[in-house]
Structure 1
């Protein structure tokens, strides 16, 4: 297995992201690419009372000519409060909400200038709660292709395409607060709030072995 996974910064990434990075010792965040809209870079999906909810972070300058590391969060919109309220509504009654909620709430209150900083901090929190010890670094130079020791996942884990097309993640069901039918590949926060210490076991079992 590769020691390093190269991937774009994602906002509270889906379970699939952690399956892909499970056996790597380092997650290398691509900071030097051009930003792409309608991706996990600024959105995640959680399970609300009546439907799957997309949470999208508004950005100021998210056009294709801006580097990922330069994309700024639009704090003129009250997105952080809205996102946190949605998370509270979705997971307030989840078994591990009271244990994990403070970690995320504090991060929403920080008002990071750049999207990449917010995403990296959220990723670090998720890795900590999963008890996954991995270094998280950023690229300094953009390389179109990378050496074979690095697993290049840039652009692969996308909400535009069903996860079944990628053969990274194979759903293992767990009890979710809302809904009769299991919703696969939601944000890792769904798994953490519902399964707590068992979340890493679910991620491990969800890794497609084929």
Structure 2
């Protein structure tokens, strides 16, 4: 049996994204689709002074008319140093800052100007920290089916990977039809994350932040336990 998930690449995404990665054998990054302005592809939220703080990776020539894999990072290196300072300001006193910061420095300092390469590497680095061995694949490198859209393309990828099960976040229940998957002998499931609670210092907890927040406040065994706090429906 092969279990598959397909998502756009996000930068330091929330815990549920990694729960999905942990639930499958192969995770396909849909990186040859149009870039979404004000989405989560190149930005996310940290906890700063007890409140959510939005951070963004600056891009060159970003447009919703361009594919993710065709977009470049801003060449000037100052934004990388600024982001590292922001992380230090937000989490410098968090209990696991030192052990996590080294890996984040590698992510942010990764020597590429390609957005798709940068995101691919960032996910692999976090997966390495979490000991996740799920295979990552980019649609821009394989499949040759960018002309397909929606459920039709998802099914085509599943068939090419000989998948027997496809898992999507719970938010996609209106996008996919179980009958269409069953006709191809593929079981369709949706991942529903369970609430996880952890201390974020003296302030009231705030959920839905970047995986960085989870890593900064929790030891690795606890984070790995969080990865299985989910249900498949």
TM-score for both structures, normalised by structure 1:
0.84
CA distance in 1, matches of 2:2, 2:206: 29
Matches within 5 A, 1:144-183: 144=149, 145=152, 146-147=154-155, 149-151=165-167, 168-177=192-201, 179-183=202-206
3-state SS of the aligned residue for 1:98?
A: helix
Q: Which residue of structure 1 lines up, in the alignment, with residue 59 of structure 2?
A: 59
Aligned-residue Cα RMSD (Å) equals 2.3
CA distance in 2, matches of 1:75, 1:181: 38
Identify the structure with the greater strand proportion: 2
Q: Which residue of structure 1 lines up, in the alignment, with residue 215 of structure 2?
A: 192
TM-score for both structures, normalised by structure 2:
0.77
Deviations 1:69-105 (A, max 9, x none): 0111113373211211111111212222111211111
Deviations 1:28-68 (A, max 9, x none): 10121111111110101111124211111111122122111
Residues 7, 28 of structure 2: 8 Å contact kept: yes
3-state SS of the aligned residue for 1:168?
A: strand
Instruction: Tell me which structure has the larger Cα radius of gyration.
Output: 2
Residues 171, 185 of structure 1: 8 Å contact kept: no
Matches within 5 A, 1:114-133: 114-133=114-133
Q: Judging changes above 3 Å, is the alpha-carbon distance between structure 1 residues 203 and 13 closer, same or farther for their aligned structure 2 residues?
A: same
Q: Judging changes above 3 Å, is the alpha-carbon distance between structure 1 residues 208 and 86 closer, same or farther for their aligned structure 2 residues?
A: farther
Q: List alignment gaps of at least 5 residues for structure 1.
A: 157-165
Q: List alignment gaps of at least 5 residues for structure 2.
A: 159-164, 173-189
Q: Which residue of structure 2 lines up, in the alignment, with residue 93 of structure 1?
A: 93
Query: Which protein, 1 or 2, shows the higher relative CO under an 8 Å CA cutoff with sep ≥ 6?
Result: 1
- Answer with 185-194 or 17-26: which moved more: 17-26
Matches within 5 A, 1:124-143: 124-139=124-139, 140=142, 141=144, 142=146, 143=148
Residues 22, 134 of structure 2: 8 Å contact kept: no
CA distance in 1, matches of 2:80, 2:231: 34
Q: Is the aligned partner of 1:113 residue 2:140?
A: no
